[in-house]
Amino acid sequence: MQADQVIGHGGGTSVLRRIGRSIVVAAACAACALVFGFMLFATSVMREQAPAPATAGADGIVVLTGAAARISAGAELLKQGHGKRLLISGVNRITTKHDIERLSGLDHKSFTCCVDLGYEALDTVGNADETRTWANANNYRKLIIVTSSYHMPRALAELALAMPDAELIAHTVTPKDFPESGWWLSMRTTRYLLSEYLKYLPAAARLATQRVMGWGQPHSVALQPTNSQPADRRDG
């Protein structure tokens, strides 16, 4: 009887050890996957972007606020005729139209005619909702999205979730204080990229679930950006 109990206890311990080892291996694999994914993410957003095909023919241009250079980049696309109207989403409530007009570099007539300011969005999800409302009101389907290079993956994911039938064209603005090479040597840049990567993962997971489950209609997201431009400061 005692021998049976000893054998039984030993068998239970062995099972627990196997379970423990499996948990450790699974955790190690998950950690490796996260690290590998982060390296791919960081390398992608830090890579020097080549010019994309001409973007003429887009219905509208959307700037997600942050660095001031995003606004001037969007205004330049409008000036060049790449879109009919420009939405600047997520404008701070204390920022006036005059302030935005000055940052845009557009003449007063063009700004008054063709620029819309969105004051409701407080984050990237809010940007997507604000963009959807604006696009639906104007019957726009093809949009050029202007934001920082590190923010673009998450922005496209949230926009694709909110607007599954839209065609999105990325126009990245590269922060000038990001190193041109060897980003991993800058602790501040690495921390910033890691923070954005961890924010991107849930959005990417929701988008993948949407596509697998068949929610919404198929959509097209053009991941290749148009001409990248340096930004004057880092902001998410």
Q: What is the pTM of this model?
A: 0.77
Q: Report the distance separating Cα 52 and Cα 61, nearest Å.
A: 16
Q: Sign of dihedral through CA atoms 207, 165, 146, 117?
A: negative
H/E element holding 89?
strand 85-89
Check residues 35 and 122 and name the one with the higher pLDDT. 122
For 93-131, write each residue's pLDDT tens digit. 999 999 999 999 999 999 999 999 999 999 999 999 999
Q: What does each C-alpha distance from 166 to 23, 76, 88, 219 come to in angstroms?
A: 42, 22, 18, 6
Helix segments in 115-151, DSSP class H: 124-138
Enumerate domains of the chain plus CATH numbers: 60-231 (3.40.50)
DSSP code at position 185: G
> What gap in Å lies between CA 75 and CA 102, rounded to an integer?
11
pLDDT above 70 for 206:
yes
What is residue 72's predicted lDDT score, i.e. its pLDDT? 92
How many Å apart are CA 31 and CA 54, to the nearest integer?
40
